[in-house]
A and B are shown apart, each in its own frame.
Chain A
Amino acid sequence: MLAFIIRRLLQSVLVMLTVALVAFGLFRYIGDPINNMVGQEATLVEREQLRAQLGLNDPVPVQFARFVANAAQGQFGMSYRMARPVADVIFERLPATLELALISGIGALVVGIALGVYTALRRDGWLSQIIMSLSLIGVSLPTFLIGILLIYVFAVQLQVLPAFGRGEVVRLGWWSTGLLTESGLKSLIMPAITLGLYQLTLIMRLVRAEMLEVLRTDYIKFARARGLSDRSVHFRHALKNTLLPVITITGLQIGSIIAFAIITETVFQWPGVGLLFITAVQFVDVPVMAAYLVLIALIFVVINLIVDLLYFAVDPRLRVKRSGRGS
């Protein structure tokens, strides 16, 4: 078990180095931060000086090596745009993104599984048909469109939910939370739906398909023959066995919820790391972009690790096989 974790961690470092290298390769093509940093009055000489000062004239491998050396010590440098340490800026923004991702992830999981089970059990019910048709919208509509539609209906027309921002936040140490105030919770509703809708429909369709599969298997028939209650058959025996693929997908999707919160955060002006990244791209704020990409890679890697460990918990066969080989 421990060896497995260590091996995975080493692989993770490699993944992150690769991400950083690819990112650095791309940074050359997004432009020059200097023009954004100095006024239009700056002379060519002044521009050149600043470029040299920031080390932008060095070859990419040198810049990359410097970045990795600093990052290894937890130093991500200064944001060109905000003139503040990158690590501070990211950690200030991280709670907003994590809260949004967590709420929309949990929402997608709970509602998705519930609807998936329901539509599997009542295959031909009219409500199931409606849910299945509506779920197509979630899969096919792009995120920003859902967000703008929600804003139009609930903020502009009905004026019941705020169109942007995070509302009032409460500070708990370094963590800032919007979950404890009314305006914070209200602000969370639309971004969470926008971000989670795709995942919700995905999980629902997955659970439904898996359930239908499992319900046809012999052991379910046998369980019914034994006279077990419907509830026991559906939830104790069937649902549990559909969860393995669901966990895999959910794990990967949580990573993408965090990473792709960029669009939702931009539409709702949600002050998280995704919005920070978009602003950084437009300004060519290389230190922020690099740190963000490495952070996202780290999140993906950690989540995958957790998913792998969850397999052990859910599927007893894995445990048996491992211990059998180990002894």
Chain B
Amino acid sequence: MNLTRMATLLAFSSTLALSASVSAETLRWSSAGDSLTLDPHSQNEGPTHAMSHQIYDSLVYRNQEMKLTPRLALEWKLTDDPTVWEFKLREGVKYHNGNPFTADDVVFSIMRAKHENADMKGLLTTVVEAIKVDDHTVRLRTDGPNPLLPNNLTDLFIMDKEWSEENKVAVPQNFKAGEETYAVRNANGTGPYRLISREADVKTELARNDDYWGKGQYPLEVSRIVYTPIKSSATRVAALLSGEIDFLLDPPVQDLDRLAAARGLAVRSGPENRTIFLGMQQAVPELRTSDVKGKNPFADKRVREALNIAINRDAIGKVVMRGQSVAAGMIAPPFVDGYSAELDRVPTVDVARAKALLAEAGYPNGFAVTLACPNDRYVNDEAICQAVTGMFGQIGVKARLDARSKSIHFAELPKGELDFYLLGWSVPTMDSHYVFHYLIETRSDKGGSWNSTGFSNAEIDGLIDAMTRETDPDRRAEMVAKVWNTVQSEVIYLPLHHQMLNWAMKSNIDFPVHSMNYPHFKWLKYTK
């Protein structure tokens, strides 16, 4: 009797399991740095967004192919008034606490992210107001035509208005307030996973949101996520090798071969949205760190060109990056609007011509200058700088390497005080304007905050400004191309390479790399 009962029970439970076809898989993963806060508007930073993407939904986001994809917004279009965008919202969506998602939440979240305490305000500067049309339609009015507004909303997460007001977090946290707000360690989103527990820097646990609107559309095979940041890269790798974690977001480059060869592990690679390049101060009358007095060698285009063709990008890719980079000719990865293979063509190495160009410019014996370089920000950043200083040495330019921590490097860089520096740039909006606005535009209160080359061209500035309002795609593409041509022909920067992204995981996990480095675990599948 007992046996039959057990058999029926077993049969019953297996049918249950089949009918629900919901897997119970726990994914334990790690990376070096934890999310800074769960408040989705207060920081504009990669690891923070990576966590928020699990708990919260944005209106639109980038899929694996980097295409804009519906999320909480089903469709979006410019209205007849070119300054107004209209978003149709998904219906029947519920927050983790059961509250319904409506247009009020979108209006609230946009305005919250525009608050002066929010770091996300930088992406919404053109938005003047958010208007609720009906419960599932929202309009955003901008200060002028903004054809690219949806590109800026991919990391803009929608919070529950009711919950935020209940918990006194209707305003993002202010550092000066001296007190932590509820939203820093608690969350209520509409996303695929809900927060179970959070201890910053130690452990964050999420569980699958079984009422997720995307159920059936996405695999959602992971039922529980445990995130543990591990600072030391050797320990992170050891934890993956020993099977204590299943997924590693940032395996160190030197361990990739070993991880790929290890039994039961796999490394998946893809292009990252980041280009590494060198910048030169071209506007000051005399460089601070050079032996050339009274004039600035970088002001001469021939010198910049000489340096450009002295760099052996293939050697850097092979030796320093161990194949984990793609040599670059422009500061934008292939999925960015405005990219072209022609612009990205890698300059041919020509030491003889480089020397001739230097001699022509009046520096037959080269000159000395200090190259400032971060040593804890990009993949192998210091080694890259060491390699290029050697290459510059071949044409007589004695670059002294000053490798330092990112907190020093990035404090000095925006001040325009560095003569020669390494920087990496990613393009979250996937549009060339983002590159121009921060790296090419004249440094001012409005833009050019990372343009430390001193490059300033009124015509180019005009084009950069005009392209934000140009709604005709062809005319806009023309403007973008024009700016790129100037950037390339003037050799304002020396692009080195596009970084590659690697994720290491158990080999039974099928999870392609997302170029923004956001692991959307709802897409993760297990191979049977």
Contact = CB atoms under 8 A, between A and B. Distances in A.
A48 to B, nearest CB: 10
B44 A39 contact: yes
A239 interface: no
Contacts of A77: 178
A156 B42 contact: no
Nearest to B426: A40
Interface stretch (A147-155, A228-236, A315-323): A147-155
B235 A31 contact: no
Interface string A83-96: 11100100010000
Contact of A84 (B120, B180, B239, B406): B180
Contact of B36 (A30, A34, A78, A82): A82
Contacts of A85: 178-180
A53 B176 contact: yes
Contact of A81 (B36, B234, B236): B36
Q: Give the one of A30, A32, A82, A164 with max B CB within 10 A.
A: A164
Interface in A75-121: 77-78, 80-85, 88, 92
Interface string A234-265: 00000000000000000000000000000000
Contacts of A47: 414, 449
Contacts of A282: 376, 405, 407
Nearest to A47: B414
Contact of A32 (B175, B408, B446): B408
Contacts, number: 150
B244 A276 contact: no
Contact of B228 (A82, A152, A164): A164
B282 interface: no
Nearest to B200: A82
Contacts of B202: 165-166, 271
A156 B178 contact: no
Nearest to A34: B411
B242 A275 contact: no
Chain B: interface size category: 35 or more
A165 B411 contact: no
A163 B445 CA distance: 49
Contact of B201 (A45, A152, A159, A279): A279
Nearest to B180: A84
B238 interface: yes
Interface string B174-202: 01111111001000000000000001111
Contacts of A92: 199
Contacts of B238: 148, 151-152, 155-156, 163-164
Interface in A1-60: 30-47, 50, 53-54
Contacts of A159: 242-243
B238 to A, nearest CB: 4
A215 to B, nearest CB: 45
Interface string B34-64: 0011010011110000000000000000000
A147 B453 CA distance: 45
B175 A268 contact: no
Contacts of A275: 201, 231
Given A38-B119, A162-B244, A163-B244, A43 B376 contact: no
Contact of B42 (A83, A88, A276): A83
B235 A39 contact: no
A36 B407 contact: yes
B245 to A, nearest CB: 9
Interface residues of A, number: 54
Given A42-B449, A164-B235, A35 B407 contact: yes
Nearest to B414: A44
B516 to A, nearest CB: 14
B43 A269 contact: no
B446 A43 contact: yes
B2 interface: no
Given A31-B411, A44-B443, A54-B176, A39 B122 contact: yes
A276 B235 contact: no
A278 B241 contact: no
Contact of A45 (B179, B184, B438, B445): B445
Interface string B222-266: 000000111110111011011110000000000000000000000
Given A43-B446, A83-B175, A31 B243 contact: no
B184 A40 contact: no
Contacts of B37: 82-83
A266 B410 CA distance: 25
Contacts of B122: 39, 41-43, 46
A127 to B, nearest CB: 33
A-B pairs with lowest CB-CB distance, top 7: A39-B44, A31-B407, A32-B411, A41-B122, A35-B410, A31-B408, A84-B180
25 contacts: A31-B411, A32-B408, A32-B410, A33-B407, A34-B411, A35-B414, A42-B449, A43-B445, A44-B414, A47-B414, A50-B175, A77-B178, A82-B37, A82-B201, A83-B39, A83-B181, A148-B234, A155-B238, A156-B238, A164-B236, A266-B231, A267-B232, A268-B235, A271-B199, A279-B231
Given A34-B411, A54-B175, A269-B235, 17 more contacts: A31-B406, A35-B407, A37-B175, A38-B44, A39-B122, A41-B123, A42-B119, A46-B122, A78-B179, A82-B37, A83-B173, A83-B184, A92-B199, A156-B242, A162-B244, A266-B231, A267-B232
